[in-house]
Amino acid sequence: MKSSLIIIVFFTAGIVVGLMMSGSGLSLASGMSSYALHFLLFLIGISVGSDLKVFKILKKLHFKVVLVPVSVIFGTLAGAAAVSYFIQDITLSECLAVGSGFGYYSLSSIYITELRGESLGVIALLSNIIREVITLTAAPLLLALFGKLAPLASGGATSMDTTLPVITRYSGRDYAVIAVFSGTVLTVLVPFMVTFFL
Amino acid sequence: MGEREPVNSVLVALLLGGLAGYALRERKAVLKHLDRITFYSVLALLFFLGLSVGANDVIVSNLHSLGLKAFVLSVSAVIGSAAASWIVYRFFFGAGDEK
């Protein structure tokens, strides 16, 4: 939660600087964010490639654990599609692309900005931050309504890091392993799925 | 926005990172800095995203309506994924893990 606040502070600082620079800030920002995005993806690759515990989890829990990220994908897309009709100026595929961030706001928002411009990029950023905040604050409610997988399903890609402490606390240690697995799978899928829909 | 980035180059970066990570998997001294460097690069990314938002007048004047759309989308996505996970929980996890 603290790191989310720091991130929001940096985002806000960027807005303030952007307001002062106005037009001249745009080309600088898109060039720099492109470099930063490549670097970030490289780092994510390192973290997944250097720690193959995901595959051990898969082996230990058998095939049924794969159903968890699959259900998160279908549930998220169904949820995003269900409201696309009511949201003006955004197409169904754009809603699905925003949903495909699975809470991973830094990656999905930059990606969507590159593909569709700042307007949808901002929606992706806010929407995926809100998803993380909902998971952090409503985990007990989700647990009561939808069972022990619900907090980590709500966390999406963040269930491997930022929302993991909350998931472990409410669903129990057994589910922490599933959360790491599901979060890792969804994290890796974010760039592929966002590209697929846009 | 200026030139659109070829997205495949980003996926190449992901793949190269995976290979580098696999090669470095025993080098714990190098890997322990990874989380911190990742966090710093996320901060840099978000700062530049903020920059491009702030420099764009159309977005600045529509920020609250964009926020509302984002909120509706995320609430619906959370409910959808939690409900879908309930089905998996009910039929594949529930019975065995309760005890």
Model confidence at A60: pLDDT above 80: no
Domain boundaries, chain B: 1-56, 62-99
Q: Predicted confidence band at A3 (pLDDT cuts at 50, 70, 90)? A: low
Q: Can you list the residues of chain B whose pLDDT is less than 70?
A: 1-8, 94-99
Q: Which residues contact A136 (CB under 8 A, 6 or more apart)?
A: A1, A162, A163, A166
By CA distance, what is B73's nearest residue in A?
A80
Residues of A in contact with B64 (CB under 8 A): none
Angle value at C-alpha B92, between B88 and B97, nearest 5 degrees: 115
Q: Tell me, what's the pLDDT at B98?
A: 45
Q: What percent of chain A has pLDDT over 90?
A: 37
In this prediction, residues A156-168 reach a mean pLDDT of 85
Distance CA(B85)–CA(B92), nearest Å, equals: 10
**Can you read off the two tokens belonging to residue B8?**
């495949």
CA distances from A128 to A34, A60, A70, A134, B69 (A): 20, 31, 19, 10, 12
Distance CA(A123)–CA(A117), nearest Å, equals: 11
- Quick one: B27 exposed, middle or buried, by C-beta within 10 A (0-12, 13-18, 19+)? exposed
Q: Predicted confidence band at A91 (pLDDT cuts at 50, 70, 90)? A: very high
Which of A106, A155, A135, A136 minimizes the C-alpha distance to A7? A106
Chain position carrying tokens 């490639």: A49
In this prediction, residues A145-149 reach a mean pLDDT of 95
Interface ipTM: 0.82
**Can you read off the two tokens belonging to residue A34?**
């492109």
Stated as kind and residue range, the H or E segment containing A90 is none
**Can you read off the two tokens belonging to residue A23?**
């037009």
Which of A145, A156, A162 minimizes the C-alpha distance to A183? A156
Q: Predicted confidence band at A1 (pLDDT cuts at 50, 70, 90)? A: low
Q: How far is A49 from chain B (nearest CA, A)?
A: 4
Is pLDDT larger for residue A156 or for residue A39?
Answer: A156
Q: Tell me, what's the pLDDT at B99?
A: 37
Nearest to B2 among A23, A27, A148 (CB): A27
Backbone phi and psi for residue B98, each to the nearest 5 degrees, phi listed first? -65, -40
Q: Mean pLDDT in chain A?
A: 87
Query: Which one of A1, A5, A40, A184 would you mutate to disrupt binding with B, by most B Cβ within 10 Å of its Cβ?
Result: A40
Q: Tell me, what's the pLDDT at A142?
A: 96
Q: Predicted confidence band at A165 (pLDDT cuts at 50, 70, 90)? A: confident
Q: Tell me, what's the pLDDT at B2?
A: 39
Residues of A in contact with B70 (CB under 8 A): 98, 122-127, 130
Q: Which residues contact B33 (CB under 8 A, 6 or more apart)?
A: none
Q: HSE-up of A40 (CA within 13 Å, CB side)?
A: 25
Distance CA(B53)–CA(B44), nearest Å, equals: 14
Decide if A120 contacts B59 (C-beta within 8 A): no
Distance CA(B75)–CA(A83), nearest Å, equals: 10
Distance CA(B12)–CA(B17), nearest Å, equals: 8
